[in-house]
Amino acid sequence: MLTLPGDAAAVARLVPHAGSMSLLDRVLHWEEGRILCETARHRDPAHPLRRDGILPAICGVEFALQAMALHGALGEGAAQRRGFVSSLRDVSLRLALLDEVPGPLEVEAEALVAEASGFIYRFAIRGEGEALLEGQAAVILA
């Protein structure tokens, strides 16, 4: 098992995303079935998912997917391999733009199913104590 990554560079080594697409800053809490991460990357004017200067709230799903990958990496003790989203369910957005949230985001993912071929997680993103985005995602690993 790996120790908790202490900074964004350590997180980036564990997820299958490179450069500015590595979206999480740190792990706040990790246990067998759950991870809680933090990020302020949604405020970055050069965020790679911005379009026409804005970051739509649906882009929060990518933050959650990276938290899922990071959780798997910590559990396996090695960087997570690439995966493909096979389904999103019950996604609920409570805002239009993610970049309007002033403080850091908390990104939480709870494992429902974890197998060698993929996983299913419930996820939630909160900002300033408010629920902003939640749903469920299934990922098939390559």
Judged on CB neighbours under 10 Å (0-12, 13-18, 19+), 53 is exposed
Best CA proximity match to 105, nearest among 63, 136, 74, 65:
63
Domain membership of residue 2 (yes or no) is no
C-alpha to C-alpha distance for 85 and 10, rounded to whole angstroms: 24
User: Residue ranges of the chain with pLDDT lower than 70?
Assistant: 1-6
Residue closest to 98 by CA, chosen among 41, 136, 27: 41
100 domain-assigned: yes
Summary count for the chain: helices (H), strands (E): 2, 6
- The reported pLDDT for the residue numbered 32 is 92
Contact in structure between 98 and 54 (CB atoms under 8 Å): no
The residue segments making up the domain with residue 16 are: 8-141
Give the number of domains in the chain: 1
Strand partners, 88: 137
- pLDDT computed for residue 44 by the predictor: 94
Domain assignment present for residue 131? The answer is yes
Q: Is residue 30 part of a domain?
A: yes
The confidence score (pLDDT) of residue 9 equals: 84
- Residue 134 in any domain: the answer is yes
The CATH number that applies at residue 134 is: 3.10.129.10
Determine the pLDDT at residue 121: 98
User: Does 121 reside within a domain?
Assistant: yes
Predicted local confidence at residue 90, as pLDDT? 98
Provide the whole-model pTM: 0.92
**Which two tokens mark 119?**
């996983």
